[in-house]
Amino acid sequence: MLVRLHSQATTTPKIRAAIQASDEPAWALAERHGTTEQTVWKWRKRDSVHDRSHTPHRLQTTLTPAQEAVAVELRKTLLVSLDDLLAVVREFLNPNVSRSGLDRCLRRHGVGSLRDLKAKDEKPKHSGFKAYDPGYIHIDVKYLPRMANETSRGYLFVAIDRATRRVFIAIYRNKTAANARRFLRDLERACPIRIRTILTDNGKEFTDRLFGLRKRAATGEHEFDTLCSALGIEHRLTPPRSPQTNGMVERFNGRIEEVLQSHHFRSGEELETTLRRYVWLYNHQLPQSALRSKTPLQAMKDWHKIKPELFKKQPYYLTGCDR
């Protein structure tokens, strides 16, 4: 039978049994078996010849059970990171708690993994977007932070094709109808797909549908509308105060926000270079679950093989709206 001994054990179960059965003095047994008198006395007091568990019977923690319960509940409710929770616990519960001690506490109560907790949260189910062939484009504008070398903030115009998830971007200093028209013109020239439909919100750069707080029908005379008509593109508008209708481009804007939060930019040029680099990676290197683990470029090439009539030219490894 395989016997597992402690790594620092100086006796075996057989020697321990002999010590327990002998009436000889401790010094004589220690000398015979090559151990100390303390070891002899220890095994004489025990009924077993096997090593005991070395797990501490009392946890070394500075948090009381009540404080642990509060920390665990905060973790479940707020879904905050370990460092954020540590700051809260030190401020309001126990200023002496250590980061490792709090981490052990969370693991002990089964809330150590923040990712698992978020996965257990019930999220509202979103209805999928209606399937369209390439050529249905979502367009939106995102505010950009003002850099130290700039006098005003920038505006990121974003376009994404519903079928292929291919993204096009451009950055302008103003959110005007003229720049919206310019973006559409650049998009139409750079995009290998024949654009059939464009969906935008009701911003003044895209439509004259809203007049103050009143809703009215679009006149069709807006700069953006006139260019759409000239290019043979149908311009659709989302219902007022319904950003979820244009949710596809909103989700991509969320990715852009993560890039902005995780980087420090020293200039507007550095910001624009980073965003264009990210869009290139998104289009060419990042597989999308909605595309069955294909990149937007791969999806576009597949569509080109199936329906080449939807394209003006063959898709290549090109950036968004770079000119």
Residue ranges per domain, the chain? 13-44, 65-120, 136-310
Residues 124-149: pLDDT tens digits? 555 555 678 999 999 999 999 988 88
Percent of the chain with pLDDT over 90: 45
Mind listing the pLDDT tens digit for each residue in 285-305?
888 888 888 999 999 999 999
Note the pLDDT tens digit of each residue in 230-269.
Answer: 999 999 998 877 777 788 898 899 989 988 888 888 898 9
Q: What is the pLDDT of residue 244?
A: 77
CB 134 within 8 A of CB 92: no
Residue 120 has pLDDT above 70, yes or no: no
Mean per-residue pLDDT for 77-82?
86
Radius of gyration of the CA atoms of the chain, in A = 34
C-alpha distance from residue 88 to each of 84, 94, 104, 233 (Å): 7, 9, 17, 54
Contact by Cβ (8 Å): 198, 225: no
Q: What is the mean pLDDT of residues 78-97?
A: 88
User: In the predicted model, what is the mean pLDDT of residues 87-114?
Assistant: 90
Is residue 184 pLDDT above 90, yes or no?
A: yes
Count of residues making up the chain: 323
Mean of the pLDDT values across residues 81-104? 90
> Mean pLDDT, the chain, as a whole number?
86
| Domain 136-310 CATH superfamily | Ribonuclease H-like superfamily/Ribonuclease H (3.30.420.10)
Average pLDDT rounded to a whole number, residues 46-68: 79
pLDDT digits (tens, 9 = 90+) for 92-102: 889 999 999 99
Three-state secondary structure of the chain: CCCCCCCCCCCCHHHHHHHHHCCCCHHHHHHHHCCCHHHHHHHHCCCCCCCCCCCCCCCCCCCCHHHHHHHHHHHHHHCCCHHHHHHHHHHHCCCCCCHHHHHHHHHHCCCCCHHHHHHHCCCCCCCCCCCCCCCEEEEEEEECCCCCCCCCCCEEEEEEECCCCCEEEEEECCCCHHHHHHHHHHHHHHCCECCCEEEECCCCCCCCCEECCEECCCCCCCHHHHHHHHCCCEEEECCCCCHHHHHHHHHHHHHHHHHHHHCCCCCHHHHHHHHHHHHHHHHHCCCEHHHCCECHHHHHHHHHHHCHHHECCCCCCCCCCCC
Tokens of 259: 């890039």
pTM of the model: 0.59
Q: Are 223 and 181 in contact (CB under 8 A)?
A: yes
Return all residues near 274 (Cβ < 8 A) that are at least 6 apart.
259, 263, 265
